């Protein structure tokens, strides 16, 4: 696996790519699997939960998402995994249904490291996509972090940055020097 360079919004050449709509994937090749592996490695190294192919300079409609496990602390101080981690590779994803109402949450982006803002997103989404074998799949009524990550990453495929979704720009803050930095999409 290879850690790839993540494009940044503060670099003009990078921003031009980030603002470009991606092309659909037409062929499901071993190179696509390698790209998915590289994207997961890159995303984890940058402490993210999602990464879109345009963020690594590839204008194809492909995203990877990692939802961390849910850990519960027991009375004796030990921990147990209640819900395992979830890993997704979505090729040519599209939102086919969405909640009629929004939820606002703190959101960041690996292409704008350290910066977070309150961003409204639909409370749930249903997404159709292809897996790495080209098989059609569906995620039904995703909620929580998965719903937010899906919407954020699909926006990247359309050349839309999370900063364009912010309604109250006073919530945009640099958390770089904060002791607990939230994960970024």
User: Catalytic residues, which ones?
Assistant: 153
CA dihedral of residues 141, 128, 56, 2 (deg, nearest 10)? 90
Strands (E), the chain: 50-52, 62-67, 70-73, 79-83, 86-98, 102-108, 115-122, 125-130, 136-142, 173-174
d(CA 136, CA 174): 39
């Amino acid at each position: 696996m290879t850690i790839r360079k993540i494009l940044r919004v503060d670099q003009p050449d990078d921003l031009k790519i980030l603002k470009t709509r991606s092309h659909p994937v037409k062929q499901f090749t071993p190179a696509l699997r390698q790209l998915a592996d590289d994207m997961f490695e890159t995303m984890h190294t940058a402490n993210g939960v999602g990464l879109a192919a345009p963020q690594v300079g590839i204008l194809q409609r492909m995203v990877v998402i990692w939802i961390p496990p849910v850990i519960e602390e027991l009375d004796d101080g030990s921990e147990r995994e209640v819900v395992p981690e979830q890993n997704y590779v979505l090729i040519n994803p599209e939102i086919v249904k969405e909640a009629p109402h929004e939820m606002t949450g703190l959101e960041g982006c690996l292409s704008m490291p350290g910066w977070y803002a309150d961003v409204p997103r639909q409370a749930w989404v249903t997404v159709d996509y292809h897996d790495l074998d080209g098989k059609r799949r569906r995620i039904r009524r995703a909620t929580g972090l998965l719903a937010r990550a899906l919407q954020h990453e699909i926006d990247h495929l359309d050349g839309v940055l999370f900063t364009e979704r912010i309604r109250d720009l006073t919530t945009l803050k640099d958390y770089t020097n904060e002791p607990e930095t939230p994960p970024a999409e």
